[in-house]
Amino acid sequence: MKSKTIAEGIVKAIGILLGLALLLYFLYKIQAVLVYIAIAAVVSLIGRPIVLFLRRKLKFHNALAVIVTMLLLVGILVGLISLFIPLLVQQGQNLSLLDIDKLQGNVEDLYREVIDYFGITTIDIEQSIKDSKVFANLDFGFIPNFLNSFIGVLGSLSIGLFSVLFIMFFFLKDSKLFEDGLLVFVPDNKEGRLKKSIVTIKDLLSRYFVGLVFQILILFIIYTIVLLIFGIENAVVIAFLCALLNLIPYVGPIIGGILMLVLTMTSNLGADFSSVILPKTIYVMIGFVIGQLVDNFFSQPFIFSSSVKSHPLEIFLVIIIGGLLFGVTGMIIAVPGYTAIKVILKEFLAENKIVKSLTKNL
């Protein structure tokens, strides 16, 4: 009898493992659909405040409010594409972001000017750098790779745009669609708590994603103004890329700063280094630092305090842990994921001392 029980347990365990393996394989095969659902969910959370405003304040019918919101969001997307794509196409030959050979040559010329400016012209240093082939080995591909990846994402989204819009329409129109799907897996006596958790998560994440949009917009405006004031070529494109990089916590601003530094210096080659290139670069970087100060001391605290209601130290630790576990993707999804977990824990484990301490502001 005992051996039979053990055999049944082993068979059951093997069955569970095979079921999990098949589930993971199935999810892997439909990953494109999961991406569409994720994008539709995020955009619907961003559009949800607009739908609620149209329904409650302007007394729009639910379906009409959803259609107007979707038209507004699609209009913004089309506006961005119409603004950036033609600019990239028209100036592609001159844009250092796309011309790696030119960018590498510009950096080499810039290096020589810096060496001459600071008087570091000894034969040994020049020869050692030449022998090391440091500039030949530098990989500037990360710049166009990022840009191409961004444009590639836009291209992929255009292929699945109908799918995303279709899913998003029903997420906005029937906000309980996703909720009803989750309730299938929850016992009847827990449904009330789960419904309450989902409503809270929707409210918090809607404010969070809308806050991120405004965060990028504020940085984009600051960077654009600074770059236009000092006459940097392709100011709008550079400002947008640097603002977009800010979505990657901690690492993104550093990459954006390096990108703005290099493109600012290389866009003025041919001018005098000491009187034109160096002062202009310093002023641009001061503007970049001002933008980051505004973001760090105004935008981010406002987003975290009014949306996810978490202490900055919590956010820092969660982002670091997310980055260690899942890389850049983990850093990006760490805050919304942590917020959802906190809401669920508060609803189901409200009496736990640790949970009570973490969720006291929710």
User: Which residues of the chain have a pLDDT value below 50?
Assistant: 91, 93-98, 122, 124, 134-135, 138
Question: Do 308 and 361 contact (CB within 8 A), yes or no?
Answer: no
The tokens for 328 are: 């850049």
List C-alpha distances in Å: 331 to 206, 318, 340.
Answer: 19, 8, 15
Q: Specify the amino acid at residue 88.
A: L
Nearest to 49 by CA among 289, 286, 161, 211: 211
pLDDT score of 212: 84
The dihedrals phi and psi of 151, each to the nearest 5 degrees, come to: -65, -35
Query: 192-232, pLDDT tens digit by residue?
Result: 777 788 778 878 877 888 888 888 889 999 999 998 888 88
User: Using CA atoms, how far apart are residues 296 and 219, in angstroms rounded to an integer?
Assistant: 11
Count of residues making up the chain:
362
Give the C-alpha distances (Å, rounded to integers) separating 270 from 72, 116, 190, 265, 277.
45, 14, 70, 10, 9
pLDDT recorded at residue 139:
52
CA Rg, the chain, in Å? 26
What pLDDT shows up at residue 225? 92
Decide: pTM greater than 0.75: no
What string of H, E and C letters represents the secondary structure of 93-122? CCCCCCCHHHHHHHHHHHHHHHHHHCCCCC
Q: Which residues contact 57 (CB under 8 A, 6 or more apart)?
A: none
Among residues 329, 300, 294, which one has the least CA distance to residue 316?
300
Question: Do residues 306 and 207 lie in contact, with contact meaning Cβ atoms separated by under 8 Å?
Answer: yes
User: Residue 356 half-sphere exposure, CB side, CA atoms within 13 Å?
Assistant: 4
pLDDT tens digits for range 62-117: 888 888 988 888 888 777 777 666 655 554 544 444 455 665 666 666 666 666 66
